[in-house]
Amino acid sequence: MKFFVILFLAASLLTLLIPTAISAIRPLPEMDTVPSSPPPSPSAASAPAAPSPANMETTADSQITVQLLTDDGILTLAMDDYLFGVVAAEMPADFAEDALCAQAVAARTTTLHHMTGADHPAHPEADICSNASCCEAWLSEDALQARWGDAYEENARKVQSAVHSTDGVVVTYDSAPALCVYHSSSAGVTESSADVWGGALPYLVSVESPESPDSVPGYVTTVSVPQTEFRDVILDNFPDADLSGLPEEWIRDVTVTDGGRIGEMTVGGVHIAGTTIRNLFSLRSAAFTVEMTYENVVFTVTGYGHGVGMSQYGANILAGDGTPWQEILAWYYPGTELGSISDFAA
């Protein structure tokens, strides 16, 4: 009897304790996450965000104003805004970062060279123009959006990064802004300014450049000109030339510069510069050979551009191999140093 009484009391006790124990191990409800910031009021949401310290920073380029002559008139731009349009127009945005940085510094320096020198005879009313054959190519934001399409934001970010990361940096020689001209690609060697324009500059001399047919689109091109057309063009520009003989006797005494370009050739007894031949027959460069076939004059051309200063494709190859932009500039403009645009600001 006592056994059943004890068993009954134990069962009653368990009935009272089990619900309490279960409630003790039940998980607590999750706490509401505390917002990182309170939701904005309608007036605060419509107000512009406060500028960050980075946006408030004054850059060296932003303090320089450029007067740019375009087809639509003269624009007044901050140097960094101007350089964005130049780098984007002059170099493919998919080039290596250090190539784009070298391009930004070269463009900034050339612009400063024009701004601090004598007025440009072609446009004394402006510092520089958007004509690549005269100064430097430049494209507006609208033109770049049309060119790049869906890739605009990515390309714009890369170009802006090159401009901003080299803010105010210029190439100098003898404490003055250098004339940092550049071109698309060389025939393995750049050209000296003396052999192209007749004016020797100690930092615009021939240096090796790493281009090859595998690394540069359209590196070698061919232009075939009918003999009759060749004769007419030469006589129109050089009436004293004698092209009455056999076509294979028209061209004589071809000289080649240290940069591998045609320095001069004698055509019909008249001395003509290689750069003139290039312009007359729309050749991509003056690094060419000439072959007289049965009916045509055939030019085989290597590279693109005048060949002086920095090769853009060469810079991209060097950058791809790990060469920093500072060394790229030192290679293509030997004897120069890096300085600040602020040292030349008016």
Tell whether 23 is covered by a domain.
Answer: no
* pTM as predicted: 0.81
Q: Same domain, yes or no, for 317 and 175?
A: yes
Joined together, the tokens standing for residue 4 give: 């059943």
Provide the domain count of the chain. Answer: 2
13 pLDDT band (50/70/90 cuts)? very low
| C-alpha dihedral sign at 152, 155, 161, 166 | negative
DSSP, res 342: G
Provide φ and ψ at 332, rounded to 5°.
Answer: -80, -20
Cβ contacts of 288 within 8 Å, gap of 6 or more: 261, 262, 274, 277, 278, 299, 300, 301, 302
Phi-psi category of residue 324: left, alpha or beta, with phi > 0 → left and psi -120 to 50 → alpha: beta
DSSP for 272-338, written as a single string? EEHHHHHHHTT-S-S-EEEEE-SSEEEEEEESBS--BSEEHHHHHHHHHTT--HHHHHHHHSTT-EE
- Which one, of 151, 55, 93, 39, lies nearest residue 316 by Cα? 93
Residue 72 has pLDDT above 60, yes or no: yes
Residues 167 and 260 in one domain: no
Q: Is 137 left (phi over 0), alpha (psi -120 to 50) or beta?
A: beta
Q: Classify residue 29: in a domain, yes or no.
A: no
Tokens of 248: 């294979």
Answer whether residue 312 shows pLDDT above 90: yes
The reply to whether 47 falls in a domain is no
85 with 162, same domain: the answer is yes
Q: What local confidence, expressed as pLDDT, does residue 12 receive?
A: 41
Do the domain assignments include residue 46? Answer: no
Q: What is the mean pLDDT of residues 62-76?
A: 95
Based on the fold, state whether residues 250 and 315 are members of the same structural domain: no
Residues 227 and 294 in one domain: yes
Q: Which domain holds residue 287?
A: 220-302
The pLDDT of residue 109 is above 90 = yes
Report if residue 196 sits inside a domain. no
CA–CA distance, 252 with 249 (Å, rounded to integer): 7
> For all residues of the chain together, what is the average pLDDT?
85
DSSP readout, 158-198? HHHHHHHHTTTEEEEETTEE----EESB-SSB-B-HHHHHS
pLDDT single digits (tens) 19-41: 333 333 233 233 232 233 333 33
C-beta atoms surrounding 57 within 10 Å = 10
Q: Are residues 92 and 171 in the same domain?
A: yes
Coil, strand or helix: which one is 70? strand
Q: By C-alpha distance, which of 5, 182, 18, 178 is closest to 86?
A: 182
CB 209, CB 186: distance < 8 Å: yes
Strands across the sheet containing 128-129: 73-78, 65-70, 128-129
Query: 82 and 176 share a domain?
Result: yes
CA angle 23, 24, 25 (to 5 degrees): 95
Mean pLDDT lowest among 55-64, 75-84, 233-242, 250-259: 55-64
Instruction: Report the greatest alpha carbon distance in the chain.
Output: 146
Q: Does one domain contain both 98 and 239?
A: no
Predicted pLDDT at 120: 80
Same domain assignment for residues 228 and 270 = yes
Partner residues linked to 292 by β-bridges: 297
Question: In this predicted structure, what is the pLDDT of residue 57?
Answer: 67
| Cα dihedral across residues 330, 336, 337, 343: positive or negative | negative
The predicted model gives 160-180 an average pLDDT of 97
Lowest-pLDDT range of 14-18, 91-95, 203-207, 294-298: 14-18
In a domain, 248, yes or no: yes
Residue 142 falls inside a structural domain: yes
Burial of 19 (0-12, 13-18, 19+ CB in 10 A): exposed
Q: How many residues does the chain have?
A: 346
pLDDT in tens, 173-193: 999 999 999 999 999 999 999
Measured between alpha carbons, how far is 313 from 218 in angstroms, rounded to an integer?
Answer: 12
Q: Are residues 244 and 276 in the same domain?
A: yes
Q: Does 167 share its domain with 267?
A: no
Q: Which residues contact 281 (CB under 8 A, 6 or more apart)?
A: 223, 225, 230, 233, 299
Decide if 241 is inside a domain.
yes
Q: For the chain, what percent of residues have pLDDT higher than 90?
A: 79
Residues 318 and 233 in one domain: no
